[in-house]
Amino acid sequence: MEQINNILRDDNLYKAAIQALHGLQSNSNYLKLVTKDNSQANAVRNLPDTKKYLIRSGITLEKLDTLSVIHIAGTKGKGSTCAYTEAILREHGFKTGFFSSPHLVNARERIRISGQPISKTQFTQNFWKIYKKLEDTKEHESDMPTYFKFLTILMFNTFLDEHVDVAIIEVGIGGLYDCTNIIRNPVCVGITSLGLDHTSLLGNTVEDIAYQKSGIFKSGTVAFSVPQLSQAMRILEEQAIERNCKLRVIPSFDEYKWENLSPILQIKNKVQQQNASIAIQMATEWLLTRNKVASVSMDKIAIALTSCKWPGRMQVLRSSIGDFFLDGAHTIESIECCISWFNDISSGSKRKKVLIFNTSGTRDPIQLLIPLRSLHFYKAYFVPNLVGIKSLDNEMNSSSTDEQKIKCEINSKIWGMNSVVANNVLEVLEDIKRNLVQKNNCERYQILVTGSLHLIGAVLAILDPNLTMNTEF
């Protein structure tokens, strides 16, 4: 009986922690605030505020300097790049920490040790320890970090407590003013593909975006970049010189010489090959400069790349009602990559195609929807980032807001014929299943889910809540 009570108590503490975390201002609310103010004043406050709260949590900047960090920014591909980098270093036998955002199903995914999200128990204990310290040292009522800032501080505490060998840290938004940029001496940094996103905060040109991303360059550090548009590369080169940082453009994936094993057959998509190449460069830099190995094993790199799982990004999930193609593309460039990937992987099939779509923030849906029309979908569903199961929506802090529903109505009108507006994801999946049964159709659908990583999370919360890369739906 005591054991059951302890389990219930721990579960209640975890739920309370998630609720308290949601009580802190989220990134979406932060973006709205910055847009409303039309200034970078709030963004500029990020670094001094993060340092202040980190120190109050019990970690000095000198203590933070002892963490061995690989820091990664970019518009698209940075999550996949981080995942590849982490997998390579873990395959070489090192204890890894990995910080990413946003999460798909639960917040614990953002903080991983040796490839696994931290447990509910560890999250709960660390959360309340830090939350109490910050509550006790408040100078005024609203003197608490925002959602992402709190998780950043929680991450630094966790990685230092766990004595990880290396921390792979993904930038949240931008780079220059991002909370994670209190890191002073990364081993190396990476810049993935750049494009226009979060323009209200980062600027309206590729040059502006490149300047913000290059903010993670540090003196004496090596920076790796994928090939960029000439105007973006010029800014990266200028900032590298100004910040005394060596900038290296990565080689093509085709240039690598493999030993006994090769990942080429598993990583066919050009975008993922680019992400894999920058991951190889950063992992190799860390391994050699830290004198961790005499030479890098290309076999271990091949194993890491082929076994790496990163849900929601160019992911295929086969279910009883159809094959789900999940990609959180939310910019013009990433939608084009998504379309190319979907075309390649589904070519030759005559099965009916279904679209499930939503957008987040202030992105222009027309720029994403018009290119998707080329895929000739049988039906398109427009739905808020809402699961439709209360316990999961509470965990994910989802809410069926009027604002989201209005956007779905607009998107449906843009799309035109054969479009459906739904209240939640469960409603969509049940409708697809019902149509399949009613028509006695043995040919399963090809279902593309895209437009928002938050939408991907809502779908996976039903199909694969533990992110096993399999589903019984």
pTM: 0.90
Q: What is the CATH number of the domain that holds 76?
A: 3.40.1190.10
Q: Could you report the per-residue pLDDT of 350-400, keeping only the tens digit for each?
A: 889 999 999 987 778 899 999 999 999 999 999 999 999 887 777 776 655
| Beta-ladder partners of 121 | none
Q: How many CA atoms lie within 13 A of 400 on its CB side?
A: 13
What letter represents residue 155's amino acid? M
Q: Is residue 209 part of a domain?
A: yes
Given 290, 307, 324, the domain boundary residue is: 307
Q: Are residues 351 and 212 in the same domain?
A: no
Q: Which residues contact 95 (CB under 8 A, 6 or more apart)?
A: 113, 114, 162, 163, 164, 165, 166
Q: 172 in helix, strand or coil?
A: coil
Mean pLDDT of the chain: 90
Report residue 306 CA to chain centroid gap: 19
Q: Are residues 287 and 336 in the same domain?
A: no
Q: Are residues 194 and 251 in the same domain?
A: yes
* 28 assigned ligand-binding residue: no
Q: Is residue 283 part of a domain?
A: yes
DSSP 251: P
Q: Is residue 386 part of a domain?
A: yes
Q: How many CA atoms lie within 13 A of 33 on its CB side?
A: 11
82 versus 26: the higher-pLDDT residue is 82
**What is the pLDDT, as a whole number, of residue 185?**
96
Is the pLDDT at 161 greater than 60? The verdict is: yes
**What is the pLDDT, as a whole number, of residue 401?**
74
Q: Would you say 464 and 392 are in contact if contact means Cβ atoms under 8 Å apart? A: no
Tell me the mean pLDDT in the region 210-223: 96
Is the pLDDT at 35 greater than 60? The verdict is: no
Tell me the mean pLDDT in the region 89-97: 96
Residue 236 and residue 367: Cα distance in Å, rounded?
A: 27
Q: How far is CA 144 from CA 15, 42, 159, 347, 371, in A?
A: 20, 14, 21, 51, 42
Q: Could you report the per-residue pLDDT of 162-202, keeping only the tens digit for each?
A: 999 999 999 998 899 999 999 999 999 999 999 765 444 55
CA-based torsion, 52, 181, 188, 271: positive or negative: positive
Q: Could you report the per-residue pLDDT of 278-324, keeping only the tens digit for each?
A: 999 999 999 999 876 778 899 999 999 999 999 999 999 999 899 99
Q: Is residue 268 part of a domain?
A: yes
Residue 466 and residue 110: Cα distance in Å, rounded?
A: 14
Given 307, 339, 370, the domain boundary residue is: 307
Q: Are residues 299 and 338 in the same domain?
A: no
Q: Is residue 105 part of a domain?
A: no
Model confidence band, residue 38 (pLDDT cutoffs 50, 70, 90): very low
Q: Could you report the per-residue pLDDT of 442-459, keeping only the tens digit for each?
A: 678 999 999 999 999 999
Q: Are residues 220 and 81 in the same domain?
A: yes
Q: Are residues 388 and 326 in the same domain?
A: yes
Q: Is residue 399 part of a domain?
A: yes
Q: Are residues 302 and 356 in the same domain?
A: no
Mark residue 352 as left, alpha or beta (left: phi above 0; alpha: psi -120 to 50; beta: remaining): beta
Edge-to-edge strand ranges of the sheet holding 353-357 = 315-318, 322-326, 445-450, 353-357, 379-382, 419-421
**What is the pLDDT, as a whole number, of residue 36?**
45
Q: Which residues contact 199 (CB under 8 A, 6 or more apart)?
A: none
Q: Is residue 10 part of a domain?
A: no
Given 283, 307, 331, the domain boundary residue is: 307
CA-based torsion, 231, 341, 102, 122: positive or negative: negative
Residue 329 and residue 449: Cα distance in Å, rounded?
A: 9
**What is the pLDDT, as a whole number, of residue 9?**
72
Tell me the mean pLDDT in the region 258-270: 88
Q: Are residues 223 and 343 in the same domain?
A: no
Q: Are residues 217 and 73 in the same domain?
A: yes
* 101 assigned ligand-binding residue: yes
Which residue range forms the structural domain that includes residue 272?
67-94+165-307
Q: Are residues 302 and 319 in the same domain?
A: no
Tell me the mean pLDDT in the region 198-209: 68
- Strands 322-326 and 315-318, sheet pairing: antiparallel
* 344 assigned ligand-binding residue: no
Q: Which of 27-41, 121-135, 273-287, 394-408 has the lowest mean pLDDT?
A: 27-41
CA angle 391, 392, 396 (to 5 degrees): 120
**What is the pLDDT, as a whole number, of residue 409?**
95
Q: Are residues 187 and 84 in the same domain?
A: yes
Q: Which of 37-46, 147-156, 204-213 has the lowest mean pLDDT?
A: 37-46
* 412 assigned ligand-binding residue: no
Q: What is the CATH number of the domain that holds 319?
A: 3.90.190.20
Model confidence band, residue 27 (pLDDT cutoffs 50, 70, 90): very low
* 92 assigned ligand-binding residue: no
Q: Is residue 398 part of a domain?
A: yes
Please count the structural domains in the chain. 2
Q: Are residues 321 and 260 in the same domain?
A: no
Helix or strand holding residue 337 (H, E): helix 332-346
